[in-house]
Structure 1
Amino acid sequence: METSPDAPKPTAKDIAAKFRDEINSGKREPGARLPAARHLAKELGVQLMTVQNAYGHLRDEGLVLSQQGRGTFVRNPSAPLGTEPGSSPAFTALAQELNTIHGALQLLGERLDRLERIVGGETPPAR
């Protein structure tokens, strides 16, 4: 990203896109720390809120985790969403909801198996 005084200032979407590309290309590996928001805002000549919004977009996409007082880190994609400290609250809620749905589907599958065994064991009525 250009940081010359004449260059247009990047938006939160621009900043998020830059880091998204770096994460997806493997340039930033899981566990890598993103620059401190204050430092990056000063370097890019943007408001702190702009960088925080960019990091928020990445967090909501499940690409990074933010840990109070430690920073923002690239998330390990092999870990289930919503299970790591610093996960997006939306992903945490979604993970809990999916676990509930998965459990209900498993119970329904077991009931269906029992019903199929019962029905499969019956002989059709004689005509």
Structure 2
Amino acid sequence: MDQSPEAPKQTPMAKEIAADLRGKITGPDREYAPGDRLPAARALAKQLGVQLMTVQSAYGQLRDEGLVLTQQGRGTFVRDPDVPLGTEPGSSPAFTALAAELSTIHDALHSLGERLERLERIVGTETPPSP
């Protein structure tokens, strides 16, 4: 959140804080790599001159996007994009539910594929009807 000395200091909103951190996580000049801990919410709130809830809301936005994980008592960490969503401690509950649902769908599709292969083998062994 760069502020020019001439501009009046504005209090950033949660979406602006999230956008700034998102750039530091995913941008070309990234400051945070997977596994890095983000600043403590209280410290960042004090630094930016905002309420703690504002920073917590920004962190919540990033968590819901799958960019960070929050671990109770440890902090907020940049998520490793190579690890499937919803499988690590601190994942968004929405991603955890989505991962479980996708796993169920994957299993059902695999089962349907096997059934289709069996049907194609059965049909392939029959002689076609004559005209």
Q: What amino acid sits opposite 1:63 in the alignment?
A: L
Report what 2:18 is aligned to. 16
1:53 pairs with 49, 57, 62, which one? Answer: 57
TM norm structure 1? 0.95
Q: Is the partner of 1:66 in helix, strand or coil?
A: strand
Report what 1:122 is aligned to. 126
Report what 1:111 is aligned to. 115
Deviation at 1:125, TM superposition (A): 2.0
Q: Is the partner of 1:82 in helix, strand or coil?
A: coil
Report what 1:80 is aligned to. 84
Identity of aligned residues (%): 70
Q: What amino acid sits opposite 1:79 in the alignment?
A: V
Task: Name the Cα RMSD after superposition.
Answer: 1.5
- The count of aligned residue pairs is 127
Q: Is the partner of 2:77 in helix, strand or coil?
A: strand
Unaligned runs of 5+ in 1: none
Unaligned runs of 5+ in 2: none
Report what 1:7 is aligned to. 9
